[in-house]
Chain A
Amino acid sequence: MKTPEDNHWLERPAVSAPRLLDRSFILLRFTLIIATSYLLIAEFGTRSVPPALVAMMIVVLLSNLGAIAIPAARLRAPWFIAATIVADTVWITIALIATGRFTSEFFYLYFFVIFLAGVGENLRLIALGVTVVCVAYVVLAARTVGFNEVVSTQTLIRVPFLFSVAIFYGYLVDRLRKERHQLSREQAVSEGLERNRRALSEANEELRRLSDVKSKFVSTVSHELKSPLTAIKNAVSLIEPGADGESQVKFLEMIRRNADRLNIIIADLLDMSKAESGSLTIAADSLDLRSFLSQVMEPFKTQAEGAGIGISIEIESPESLQPVFADANRIEQVVANLLSNALKATPKGGSITLTVEDGGSEWVTITVTDDGVGLSAEDQTKVFEPFFQAENTLEGKPAGTGLGLTICRDLVRGHGSELRLESEPGVGSSFSFSLPVLSDRARETIAFENQVRTTYRAHPYFAVLIVDGGQSMSSQPAGPTLDAARDRLAKLLPRELDVLCEQPAHGRIVVVMLSTPLGGGWVVKRKLASAFAPESLGENTSRMGSFKVLGPAGFPEDGEHGSILIGRAFDRGEQLEEKS
């Protein structure tokens, strides 16, 4: 749509050209008036021209002198040009009729010339057209009355008249067209400006929103930190020597409680900030879920019994449960958080279940289910946001920082999984996540996750799918394979499946980007190639070299079935270039 020419006129000084045009308007009009006057005088021949016509000619001449005084801007105005065209046509027609000597053929010719000027693309074409018309007219006249007659009579004077009519009208129409063009250009420019303005104001709005988020965050943090601090200060100043022991103990207890709370909030904030900056590390090792989970559950059992809530652990097939590869401290944090949330949301007589499913796959799924108050659809979308606290927990205002689930989500992601939530108000909620079964691949995956987290903080959640046309790829239909890969990815990262994919061809690479700020397809490929190029890696080069494109556990990788590699990064940009 937009061509370089569109901006052309902006650059060129547009002052001198219109001036020149204005002068030519006046000159051309003089020519027309003079040509018309000659025509009239010639027609009347020896007879005297009627005074009314003489007066009209003088008025018209004066009007043209007056036009010199009119500002250029008005001379260019479309309405002024249109008015001039109408006025001049009218007086010339009146003058021609007044002579009473012109045949209808001449009028046809006159209007035809005006028509020609009106539709003509440019002045040169109009001049050519009118020349042809005039020559034809003279030739026709010569045929009927003879050549000598034509030369000696008034017929010849009609030629310059028609010519000047054509040039003048052609010029006016041409300028009218230019004016309109200019206007539409200006409009286009102002529309462009308007678009830019709107884009700017949208960006501004976004900035304001971000600033609001920041401001809200700061005030929430200061409230969360300062409230326990205030309680401590108050309690301290209420302890005085000689007061009764009971109230002293109460205030001391209050101080301890609030100090504990401050401690938790600060730990949560630190965890969250680590997670946000990508420096939250997962120190994974072999973990036996059976003993581990019952240990984690122990303190909650007494709490649940006290509240009259049933709490139990269900392991699908305890004998065959394989050890997982996970960070025990982090997973304890996650499970404890989920259990504590469940307790808050479950009324007396309700029950909480911790389920462990192996399913023979390479992932073990842990689910915490309660039959408590549940979450509304709106709350479900917000529940992972920092400082979000559902309003409908049982104790009125929920105790806690509102950071728990945000941190849990990040910890679970650190293990290559995603924290999932299913909930219905009045029915209950269930949070689940998966942990990789102990294997070399799981080790690699988590080491890789950690490296991705520390190395690619800017894009922590991108995933790359490479469908690499290996040896046997050609014998397999590419479509279903790719679909399988996509399904697999969808299970891995359900929220983030924003797949941009190209049809795989033999020997080519398909890059699938999930929810990245980069964009999609081959553009992404190019961006990745430069992002992973050795020169932009700097000191990380050696670390990058140790990366391989990984297949997450449970997905057929490499081997005999054509190679489909799913990973979260490339080791090198060149590898990408090489393969494409």
Chain B
Amino acid sequence: MSGKTILVVDDEADILETTKVLLERSGYEVVTATNGFEALGAARICKPDLIILDVMLPGENGYRVSHTLREDEALGVYERPNRIILVTARDLSTDPEREQLFQDFAKPDRVIYKPFDLDDLVSQVGELLG
């Protein structure tokens, strides 16, 4: 495709790898990070077209990373807003209010829930990258 870059952030090596393989098969360039700090660094250096961000990360969690990215956008660190897909294992049904609160804080473009379908992920990525 267009050679767009996607940053995938997850601390689970297997998930990281399978997601990477799949996205590469679909023609994207993939950069990976395994924790929040790496993710923020990679976002600044690589300026990816899309960030797929897991919530449960060691150190800075996904919500906070996403929040920081949005704050940096407001300060003009990035030329264009980041496109963020948040990946979470949290169950919406157990505590919807809390989850909503976190999502309002993080302001991602999309949220997908684990265990997700790779096909679904690819189609969501396709939609976001136009």
B-contacting residues of A (Cβ < 8 Å)?
215, 218-219, 222-223, 225-235, 237-238, 247, 251, 254, 257-258, 391, 396-397
Contacts and interface: CB of A to CB of B under 8 A. Distances in A.
Contact of B114 (A226, A237, A254): A226
5 contacts: A218-B95, A219-B89, A231-B15, A237-B117, A237-B119
A542 B14 CA distance: 55
Nearest to A254: B14
A413 B32 CA distance: 44
Given A234-B22, A258-B14, A218 B91 contact: yes
Contacts of A396: 58
Contacts of B95: 215, 218
Given A237-B118, A258-B14, 20 more contacts: A215-B95, A218-B94, A222-B114, A223-B90, A225-B89, A226-B89, A226-B115, A227-B15, A227-B114, A230-B89, A231-B12, A233-B115, A233-B117, A234-B14, A234-B19, A234-B22, A235-B18, A237-B22, A247-B21, A251-B18
B118 A223 contact: no
A395 to B, nearest CB: 11
Contacts of A232: 115
B42 interface: no
Contacts of B118: 233-234, 237-238
Interface of B is mostly: loop
Nearest to B57: A397
Contacts of A215: 94-95, 98
A219 to B, nearest CB: 5
A511 to B, nearest CB: 42
Interface string B82-119: 00000001110011001000000000000000111111
Given A222-B90, A223-B89, A230 B15 contact: yes
B89 A227 contact: yes
Contacts of A223: 56, 89-90, 114
Contacts of B114: 222-223, 226-227, 229-230
Contacts of A228: 14
Nearest to B113: A226
B91 A222 contact: yes
B89 A222 contact: yes
Contacts of A225: 89
Interface in B1-36: 11-12, 14-15, 17-19, 21-22
Contacts, number: 72
Contacts of A218: 91, 94-95
A225 B12 CA distance: 12
Contacts of B115: 226, 229-230, 232-233
A235 B58 contact: no
A235 B58 CA distance: 23
Contacts of B11: 397
A396 B37 CA distance: 14
Contacts of B116: 230, 233
A514 to B, nearest CB: 36
A238 B19 CA distance: 9
- In this complex, which of B14, B98, B115 has the most chain A Cβ atoms within 10 angstroms of its Cβ? B14
A254 B12 CA distance: 12
A238 B22 contact: yes
- In this complex, which of A223, A234, A396 has the most chain B Cβ atoms within 10 angstroms of its Cβ? A234
Contacts of B18: 231, 234-235, 238, 251, 254
A391 B15 CA distance: 21
B3 to A, nearest CB: 21
A259 B104 CA distance: 34
Contacts of A238: 18, 21-22, 118
Interface in B41-58: 56, 58
Give 8 nearest A-B pairs by CB, closest first.
A234-B18, A231-B14, A226-B89, A226-B114, A230-B115, A223-B89, A229-B115, A223-B56
Nearest to B18: A234
Contacts of A226: 89, 114-115
Nearest to A222: B89
A22 to B, nearest CB: 54
A59 B117 CA distance: 95
Contacts of B58: 391, 396-397
B115 to A, nearest CB: 4
